[in-house]
Amino acid sequence: MSYLIDTYQLSSLLAESPDTLILDCQSALGDRSQSKALYDAGHILGAIHVDSETELSGPIIADKTGRHPLPSQDQWQATLQRWGVTKDRPIIIYDQNNSMFAARAWWLLMWAGIKQAKVLDGGLDAWRHSGGAISTEPAAATQTSNLQIDVHNSLTIAADSLLSLSAEQALLDARALPRYQGLVEPLDSKAGHIPGAINADFSKNLDSDNRFLPPEQLAQRFQSVADKPVICYCGSGVTACHNILAMTIAGMKMATLYPGSWSEWIVDDSRPVATAIEGSPL
């Protein structure tokens, strides 16, 4: 199945299935206060606000976690119940435009065994451009559920397991190349990357309109790792999900996420740091 939906398909879905749950995941990595402000400034009519910091993430623990640790299973289940998620209710997820936060929500739903969610390709910008209905009035969940999630922990990997990667595994860093190289670091206390990682800037999954490239182009991008078990990370476990989604769109097996990512890796000074470019950036 496709995990993307375009604006035309969404319009048809809303006409056919008015019970569709729409999750607005607009946010900004560098400013935790922006999520609600962006939602209040305009969202798809009927969409409920999702906070990337408090709902798509768990509490930050100093010197232990990264900037966006996974929510606990109980926390995530309670959130999904509050939203009214079921195993078969249609779910549409979007953010401003490039789907980085939407991909995080999509991955969390897949982690919980909810597989029917789709990401709106091009996000709110695409919806506005298509003439879709926009609202500035808050919307609340129309129902709750008693959903019991089935968490797939096989989709994640812990930091210690990355210290002994085999040649058969591929580790992809979703951050921009200058951050991977350690030339700049706007968010974290150390610069560089996990040794052995190949740079795979998530933004290269998109065209100039912030829509995902066609599946065949995404397959070509990730061709060199297509036959390997792939592990994805980024700064804090957000844009890594974008690469996982892109590879899934390309028809590849779902990659593994290192949820803590770089911001967790560096809390332990014994973990090695690299700055040289390794392999060929994807």
In contact, 113 and 150? CB cutoff 8 Å:
yes
Torsional class of 208: left (φ above 0), alpha (ψ -120 to 50), beta (otherwise): alpha
Alpha helices in the chain (DSSP H): 7-16, 34-41, 73-83, 100-111, 123-129, 177-181, 215-221, 239-249, 261-265
Whole-angstrom distance, CA of residue 140 vs CA of residue 282: 41
CB contact set of 99 (below 8 Å; sequence gap of 6+): 119, 120, 121, 122, 123, 206, 210, 212, 242, 245
Q: Which amino acid is at 136?
A: T
What is each CA distance from 192 to 135, 183, 263, 274, in whole angstroms? Answer: 42, 8, 11, 6
Whole-angstrom distance, CA of residue 66 vs CA of residue 233: 12
| Residues with active-site annotation | 234
